[in-house]
Structure 1
Amino acid sequence: MSNNIVVVFDFDKTIIDCDSDNWVIDELGFTDLFNQLLPTMPWNSLMDRMMMEIHSNGKTIEEIEKVLQRIPIHHRIIPAIKSAHALGCDLRIVSDANTFFIETILKNLGISEYFTEINTNPGYVNQQGRLRILPYHDFNKDSHGCILCPPNMCKGLIIDRIQNTFSEGENKRFIYLGDGIGDYCPSLRLREKDFMMPRKNFPVWDLICKDPSLVKAEIHGWCDGEELEQILIQLINKIIIEENAQFISSDCKLQTLSIPVHETLPKALSVRP
């Protein structure tokens, strides 16, 4: 086990197998209005507007929850999350969805307890029973200053904040998993000892492939939940083995053991390029 690994998940099309915003809009029958309004405002602002339209048309919070509870997810994602947690990893979410959608889905899947932190746009039910969705970063007051990210959220700044909560001596290593354009900025904030897991043939993969040298972290692409699980657990085991090797090499007392040191270590797993 290792307490030095921080695994950061995007949510839409990474943990779940669709976009939660689109899923709710489509399932409740508001796709045409959404597409009509999409060119007129930022996505985050549009989702708040759509929640107003949905409420005005008599749709309840309970109906939204039921839609979220049947959201598609690959059958190997939950085991992957549970395995990473069991191996001692600190699991976090950085998503451009919203707290109401994410918390409802995680609770329904029974995996809320595995995450130490959810970074996303605020979402709450007001006194009128309408879901409000607000920006993570209030761009009406001040810009976050990043040209790569949407105005409501810079995931790179969130990664910076998480990294800065740990001292250099803690030697935390990050594994970041994502699929979208917004996951490119945080990939540039990772260090050489970290790992980036972009979903293959999705926007972040395409951006990274234009110039992989810009990403300092080791890059491991994945296609679906099964490959995500396989690669994630391999990377976690790789880090654990490296940590054990460093511990052994730094402790000369272990040289007096009668049992060969290499026999006490788990077998290393090969990691796909």
Structure 2
Amino acid sequence: MKVLLVFDFDHTIVNDNSDTWIVQCAPEKKLPYGLQNTYEKGKWTEYMGRVFTYLGEQGIREEDMKRIMIDIPYTPGMTDLLQFIGHNKDYFDCIIISDSNTIFIDWILTHGNVHTVFDKVFTNPAAFDPLGNLTVQNFHIHHCTECPKNLCKKKVLEEFVAKQATKQVQYSKIVYIGDGGNDLCPVTFLKKGDIAMPREGYALQKRIAKDIDLIDSSISVWSSGSEILSRLKSLLDK
């Protein structure tokens, strides 16, 4: 049986937030104060839709966005880690569950030549409309009260594992690698023998410490891709 690797994207695969990184396209690399104040808790995707509309109104087009996005830095050690996973696909399945969007993730992974590492990417659908403006939609509808309106990562993970089981694909272990507060919910899906890997100093590590009673898996903190790589190599050795 394979090991399932589940990655967050922002501040995990890349060392920044792709949604805030795109603001470098804006005039003076910042958003109007009035626009910044329209964010409502749990409705980030709707807020980003307004940001993309504003960028379009400023004449920012696809090629401008792509040029900015492919400069976002990967987290230290992450490209080596992803290349290792790519060379060991007999042992690993690998997915992304992210609150970013399909366009940004595809640009970044393709530019880094690591897009083939991932079997599936679950994120908010994005597309350019006929006017050339970027649009984004909520990934799905869910009823989890702990997660943002647009995405419950636990629901995505549950459904993926269940769908794989219908294809007779079972996993010996799930390793969840993330950083954010919205990564706690899927971590509670993990069982004994699975591994939760929160990034050191980020919200997920703090949420796990606060809600440790909700966690059944082991916990392995990381600060660079090289530490995750060492952990995966030890799994293969076993």
1:116 counterpart (112, 115, 119): 119
Q: Distance in 1 between matches of 2:229 and 2:42?
A: 37
Q: Distance in 2 between matches of 1:237 and 1:212?
A: 28
Q: Distance in 1 between matches of 2:69 and 2:233?
A: 28
More deviation, 51-60/26-35? 26-35
Is the 2:25–2:60 Cα contact (8 Å) retained in structure 1? no
Return closer, same or farther for 1:41/1:56 CA change in 2, 3 Å cut-off: farther
Deviation, 1:17, is 0.3
Q: Distance in 1 between matches of 2:136 and 2:125?
A: 6
Deviation, 1:159, is 0.7
In structure 1, what residue type is equivalent to 2:221? G
More deviation, 215-224/9-18? 215-224
Deviation track 1:118-142 (CA, whole Å, cap 9, x = no partner) reads 000001111111100111025xxxx
Residue number in structure 1 paired with 2:230? 230
Residue number in structure 1 paired with 2:155? 157
More deviation, 197-206/79-88? 79-88
The higher relative CO (CA closer than 8 Å, separation ≥ 6) is in 2
Residue number in structure 2 paired with 1:76? 77
Residue number in structure 1 paired with 2:193? 193
The share of aligned pairs that are identical, in percent, is 27
Deviation, 1:214, is 1.7
Residue number in structure 2 paired with 1:174? 174
Deviation, 1:170, is 4.6
Alignment of 1:35 with 2:33, yes or no, is no
The 5 Å alignment of 1:1-273 reads 4-28=2-26, 29-33=29-33, 34-39=35-40, 42-87=43-88, 88=90, 89-138=92-141, 144-167=142-165, 170-172=169-171, 173-234=173-234, 236-237=235-236, 241=238
Q: Distance in 1 between matches of 2:209 and 2:31?
A: 32
Q: Distance in 1 between matches of 2:195 and 2:48?
A: 32
Deviation, 1:228, is 3.0
Count of equivalent residues:
231
Unaligned runs of 5+ residues in structure 1 are 139-143, 242-273
Q: Distance in 1 between matches of 2:208 and 2:67?
A: 36
Q: Distance in 1 between matches of 2:143 and 2:24?
A: 33
Deviation track 1:39-81 (CA, whole Å, cap 9, x = no partner) reads 4882110101110100001111100000001001134111101
Q: Distance in 2 between matches of 1:146 and 1:121?
A: 17
Deviation, 1:233, is 3.2
Q: Distance in 2 between matches of 1:49 and 1:23?
A: 15
In structure 1, what residue type is equivalent to 2:64? E
Unaligned runs of 5+ residues in structure 2 are none
User: TM-score normalized by structure 2?
Assistant: 0.90
Q: Larger % of helix: which? A: 1
| Root-mean-square deviation (Å) | 1.9
